[in-house]
A and B are shown apart, each in its own frame.
Chain A
Amino acid sequence: MTSTLEQAPPTTPDRRTRVARFLADNGALVGLVVLCVALFIATPDFLTGRNLLNIGIQVSTVAVLAFGVTFVIVAGGIDLSVGSVAALSSMVSGWFFASAGLPGWLALLAGLLTGLLTGVVNGLASAYGRLPSFIATLAMLSVARGLTLVISDGRPIPTSPQVSFLGSDVGPVPVPVIVLVLAALVASFVLNRTVVGRSMYAVGGNPEAARLSGLPVQRILVTVFALSGLFAALAGLLLAGRLDSAQPQAAVGYELDAIAAVVIGGASLAGGVGRISGTVIGALVLVVIRNGLNLLNVTSFWQQVVIGLVIAIAVGFDVLRRRTRTG
């Protein structure tokens, strides 16, 4: 009789499961440390101040992109459009500056607004249009990339000084690193401290329970995707700033890097679990691998194999984590 099938009272987990749970919860951090130690041993060029700053710059785009995706994945969805939205936002910003003659800071704002708007469209389609977010954002991936090409006619557009500033240095510190840190703090604050952030965990964990508790699930979903679009736009502007131009083919395929970073960082694709700190670590893992493979001059064919394996291992941790939770 299921009705009398009570769960056994909680018992102290034995040591094996405790170790398994620690590894599962901190797998990305352990992996990152192992990776860094291995690279430190393999090449003297890895652990230098300059190289670490380089890694900081290189991680900025994918990490900022991944912050937005973290919101979506925590809320139980997926956002495949972030790479295209990043490109579109930087292109719109560039167009307003170069072709429409808007002041640089207004053009920058227009870029951010573009990301926000595409995110709202994604959110409306998935929350009210009842499209699976996979489909809604897949459509947006194509539409946003197409609009980028329409606006640019396939050619790069120079960016405003304000956007270029995002790619420069302030004293010894690169601006992308500063932006990365600020974005991480904001994203973490939103996720941990605000009502909408905490609601994301409930919506991702069990949308029906969240709804029956009186949480405005649909409004939360729209906010989630809007945030994802906004962070994608910021990532796009960062990338444009580093290249001093908005590229029509910028950030192609970056959505997969962003999702990989989030998952490596310990979020569950099933929703309800994920942290910004984890996402930073996940993005670092990806970038450090690429950096290390460059330093070691590993051929490009093998690089793809290595990165694929890392993602597979990370998803394996996700499965392990869920097993230790329920087991």
Chain B
Amino acid sequence: MTSLRSTATIATMTALVLAATAGCNRESSADASQPTVVLSLSTLNNPFFVELRDGAQAEADAKGADLQVVDAQNDSATQANQLQTADSASTDAVIVNPVDSDAVGASVTALNGSSIPVVAVDRTVTGADVASFIASDNVAGGKQAADALAAAIGGQGQVIVLQGVAGTSASRDRGQGFAEGIAAYPGITVVAQQTAAFDRATALDVTTNLLQANPGVVGVFAENDEMALGAVQALGDRAGTDVQVAGFDGTTDGIAAVQAGTMVATIAQQPGDLGKLAVDAALAAIAGDEVEATQSVEVVTVTKDNVADFAQ
């Protein structure tokens, strides 16, 4: 009896929750004439992807498309499920920002089979066809960061590198670009490389620890702005004076830090542009137009000189 009753209770609650969330998500009801584009993001737990979504949303609204955004919460399995759900007649195109380039391959292959065009954004898809791949050039960005940091410290001294989540392509590419770029400055030595998992709080602790071991450091390169801001926090008054910090991503907080002088530079990806271009590519693919296989979105070195253009 009791188990029956609790089963019924659970079923009712589940139904209510589903109904409620369904109501939340479908703010704009889909119009049959509008093309439907599903945007599958690796996470919304990060301002970068929030800005990417906003850019995509603005473009979709402008072009009269219905954009449905799903968040995989950095879990490949969740993303696979969401892409499976998207694989339906009502979907006209899918924009995917993979949690993991390899893991997403199977899901995209299935979409290929249903002839739904797929556009990859920020991270590529391995083992399946995409209509277009839209990304910032992370390796080039790493080089630009090296140049900006080297210029700020006069081509001399010790620097430390804060790495992102070990094993991710963004961390690999930015690290590689920075290493290649900094090699051009024989006066600069990288004295420590440690991961801070793209996280501000972790970067605060790691930078504090690294400064202990390397008190003579004059520059910090962080593979994203969150970590750069953690490093700024760790440096306190020394940030922007004794020690120069360069970040990556050009997030709102990062831009503000450049404006305030605590960060010397950030490499602005333009997440809004990434989203905009992705929507354009998806709509072009739906229309059957020719789409470029790879589209790079310019990365811009943001320093004190041009920060005004980026500040909101």
Q: Give yes or no for direct A-B contact (beta carbon below 8 Å).
A: yes
Chain A interface (Cβ within 8 Å of chain B)? 43, 45, 48, 50-51, 54, 57-58, 61, 149, 153-156, 239, 242-245, 247-252, 290-291, 294-297, 299-301, 303
Q: Give CA–CA (A153, B69) in the complex, Å.
A: 14
Beyond A243-B230, A300-B166, whether A294 also contacts B194 by CB under 8 A is yes
> Does B286 belong to the interface (CB within 8 Å)?
no
- The B interface, classified by DSSP as helix, strand, loop or mixed, is helix
> Does B252 belong to the interface (CB within 8 Å)?
yes
Q: Give CA–CA (A81, B209) in the complex, Å.
A: 28
Judging by beta carbons under 8 Å apart, are B46 and A297 in contact?
no
Nearest residue (CB) in A for B191 is A297
> Does B199 belong to the interface (CB within 8 Å)?
yes
Beyond A51-B212, A300-B195, whether A290 also contacts B205 by CB under 8 A is yes
Compute the total of residue contacts between A and B using a CB distance below 8 Å: 78
The 5 closest A-B pairs by CB, nearest first: A300-B195, A294-B209, A154-B50, A295-B213, A45-B213
Q: Give CA–CA (A46, B121) in the complex, Å.
A: 44
Judging by beta carbons under 8 Å apart, are B205 and A58 in contact?
yes
26 A-B residue pairings within 8 Å (CB atoms):
A48-B212, A153-B50, A154-B44, A154-B45, A154-B49, A154-B50, A155-B47, A155-B252, A156-B47, A239-B201, A242-B201, A243-B229, A247-B200, A247-B201, A290-B209, A294-B194, A294-B206, A295-B212, A297-B194, A299-B193, A300-B163, A300-B166, A300-B194, A300-B195, A301-B166, A303-B195
Q: Give CA–CA (A299, B205) in the complex, Å.
A: 16
Q: Give CA–CA (A251, B212) in the complex, Å.
A: 24
> Does B233 belong to the interface (CB within 8 Å)?
yes
B102 contact set on A, CB distance < 8 A: none
B13 → chain A closest CB, angstroms? 12
Judging by beta carbons under 8 Å apart, are B194 and A154 in contact?
no
Known pairs A51-B209, A154-B50, A303-B195 / 20 extra A-B pairs, C-beta < 8 Å: A61-B201, A149-B44, A154-B46, A154-B49, A156-B200, A156-B253, A242-B233, A243-B201, A245-B253, A247-B200, A250-B201, A252-B199, A290-B209, A294-B192, A294-B206, A294-B209, A295-B209, A295-B210, A295-B212, A300-B194
Q: From B49, B199, B209, B229, name the one whose CB has the most chain A CB atoms within 10 angstroms.
A: B209
> Does B159 belong to the interface (CB within 8 Å)?
no
B60 contact set on A, CB distance < 8 A: none
A45 contact set on B, CB distance < 8 A: 212-213
Judging by beta carbons under 8 Å apart, are B47 and A297 in contact?
no
Judging by beta carbons under 8 Å apart, are A249 and B195 in contact?
no
Nearest residue (CB) in B for A54 is B208
Q: Give CA–CA (A8, B205) in the complex, Å.
A: 54
Q: Give CA–CA (A13, B204) in the complex, Å.
A: 48
Chain B interface (Cβ within 8 Å of chain A)? 44-47, 49-50, 163, 166, 192-195, 199-201, 204-206, 208-210, 212-213, 229-230, 233, 252-253
B197 → chain A closest CB, angstroms? 8
A250 contact set on B, CB distance < 8 A: 201
**Residue in A61, A297, A303 whose beta carbon sits within 8 Å of that of B213 in the complex:** A297
Nearest residue (CB) in B for A146 is B73
Nearest residue (CB) in A for B48 is A154
Judging by beta carbons under 8 Å apart, are B44 and A294 in contact?
no
B266 → chain A closest CB, angstroms? 15
Beyond A243-B201, A294-B213, whether A154 also contacts B195 by CB under 8 A is no
Q: Give CA–CA (A239, B204) in the complex, Å.
A: 10
Judging by beta carbons under 8 Å apart, are B212 and A155 in contact?
no
Beyond A51-B212, A155-B50, A297-B213, whether A249 also contacts B252 by CB under 8 A is no
A58 contact set on B, CB distance < 8 A: 205, 208-209
Q: Give CA–CA (A50, B252) in the complex, Å.
A: 32
B230 contact set on A, CB distance < 8 A: 243
A154 contact set on B, CB distance < 8 A: 44-47, 49-50
Q: Give CA–CA (A149, B74) in the complex, Å.
A: 14
B199 contact set on A, CB distance < 8 A: 249, 252
Judging by beta carbons under 8 Å apart, are B212 and A50 in contact?
yes
Nearest residue (CB) in B for A251 is B201
Q: From B192, B204, B212, name the one whose CB has the most chain A CB atoms within 10 angstroms.
A: B212
Q: Give CA–CA (A153, B47) in the complex, Å.
A: 9
B208 contact set on A, CB distance < 8 A: 54, 57-58
A72 → chain B closest CB, angstroms? 23
B46 contact set on A, CB distance < 8 A: 154, 249
Judging by beta carbons under 8 Å apart, are B166 and A243 in contact?
no
Q: Give CA–CA (A50, B194) in the complex, Å.
A: 20
B90 → chain A closest CB, angstroms? 26
